Amino acid sequence: MPSDTHVKPTDRTTDVIGARVIAQTIDIVITFVWLIAGVGGLSALVGPPEGGAAGYVLFSALTLPLYGGLLEAYWNGQTIGKRLTGVRVVDSYGSTPSFGSAALRNIPAVIVFGWLPALVGLAAIATDDRHQRLFDRVAETYVVDTHAPPTDDVQPGMDRRHTPMSVNEPRG
């Protein structure tokens, strides 16, 4: 999907719960392998951190939200899992989110390895009109189907701050 294509977050374009679960699973596997390789590589290069396990926890806490935050902000709103499943993160205007918004929506990645946070996130997605998790709401981001038709009222190069989107309309 070209980076200048805007997909308006609507009830239909955000109804991608199955794809989100599969994308999240793929991304968890990737970040787990990344963490193991990163911790192993760092330990081999410089030895174990002086803080012991605390150093590994800090490395994990920084790595997990940055994986999603960096990729979603600079790779057309997609992580590897999202790209493979045909979904992407957009802001309320249908554009790729800023790094700040993408990082903010990924804060729960620090604790997503537990079942309870994952179930709470799924419940939020399933019960919200626009299928948003709590941190999606805070960051004002949406996950949309990349195969949805581009939004007609936003043209590439247009100043999107002055383009109304139905996302700001009251939910029905």
Q: How does pLDDT run along the chain (172 residues), one tens digit per residue?
A: 444 567 888 878 888 888 988 998 898 888 888 777 777 776 777 776 666 666 666 766 677 778 888 999 999 999 999 999 999 999 988 889 999 999 888 877 666 555 666 677 777 777 777 788 778 888 889 999 888 776 655 444 444 433 434 444 444 4
9 in a domain, yes or no? Answer: no
78 in a domain, yes or no? Answer: yes
129 in a domain, yes or no? Answer: yes
The alpha-helical segments, DSSP class H, found in 6-52 are: 17-46
Task: Provide the strand spans (E) within 62-158.
Answer: 87-91, 141-145
3 in a domain, yes or no? Answer: no
Per the confidence metrics, is the pTM higher than 0.75? no
12 in a domain, yes or no? Answer: no
The number of folded domains in the chain is 1
Instruction: Tell me which residue range forms the domain holding 42.
Output: 17-168
Beta partners for 142? Answer: 90
CA angle 67, 72, 76 (to 5 degrees): 140
| C-alpha pair distances (Å), 103 with each of 74, 166, 170, 171 | 11, 24, 26, 26
CA–CA dist 27, 79 (Å, integer): 7
11 in a domain, yes or no? Answer: no
10 in a domain, yes or no? Answer: no
122 in a domain, yes or no? Answer: yes
